[in-house]
Amino acid sequence: MSKNAAVKLRYFNFWGKAESIRLFFEDFQIPYVEERIERDQWSDKKPEYYKSGICPFGQLPVVSDGSKHLAQSRAILRYYAKKYDGYGDTPEQQYLCDQAAEGLFDYRPKFVQLLNEPEDKFEEKKKAYVETEIPIFVDAFEGLLRNNPEAGPYFARPNKITFADICVFDFLICLIRLDGNCLDKHNTPLLKDFYQRMASRPNIIKYINSGRRPERVNKSKNG
């Protein structure tokens, strides 16, 4: 990352809604710097960032790029994806990209709800999530890969990844943290192959091993 990068990502010190953006910047080698805000600093920073226009919705993540402040995690991802060849080449590929990315976001709320469970309930709720929710997700995403072989081994276009692949990979890492065998036990060979390809990308490996990655998935102790 360049110290003089014009792109600055502001978010909390966990993965949350920013980790797909971080992974995208890392994989596509887009130089950026970060401001990671601790939760106890946020009540002071929020009104300041809102009034100054840095946070148009009073929320994070935001990316400051030159004189512009970009909000909404999915809009941010799409913007950089379009700019740096991380979207589809054709309307059909762009559709596949959006289908996977939007489909994925439908599955996130239950995952976040699980992490936000009280600590004493977490193990019990996690067991139920691993048994019922993960199979539903991995089966649906195996189906996307199986039914769109023209894009294989990725979700939107062959040979070159897109932001949708980054988003799915980001979420698969979260699921594997809950159940290390989830890609082995549900008959999802295409999804497993996809995960392994993503996990072996040199820039991804470099980032994951860099020590720069936040430790927590979200603000809760379960994360």
Ligand X SMILES: N[C@@H](CCC(=O)N[C@@H](CS)C(=O)NCC(=O)O)C(=O)O
Residues forming the site for ligand X (CB under 6 A): 16-17, 46, 58-61, 72-74
Nearer to ligand X, 43 or 159 (CB): 43
Nearer to ligand X, 74 or 192 (CB): 74
CA distance 168 to 153: 13
User: Could you write out the DSSP letters of every residue in 133-179?
Assistant: IHHHHHHHHHHHHHH-GGGTTSSSSSSS--HHHHHHHHHHHHHHHH-
Q: How far is the CB of 203 from ligand X (least distance, A)?
A: 24
Which residue's C-beta sits nearest to ligand X? 59
- Tell me if residue 59 falls in helix, strand or coil: coil
Q: How far is the CB of 144 from ligand X (least distance, A)?
A: 22
Nearer to ligand X, 21 or 172 (CB): 21
Q: How far is the CB of 125 from ligand X (least distance, A)?
A: 20
CA 84 and chain centroid, separation: 17
Q: How far is the CB of 92 from ligand X (least distance, A)?
A: 26
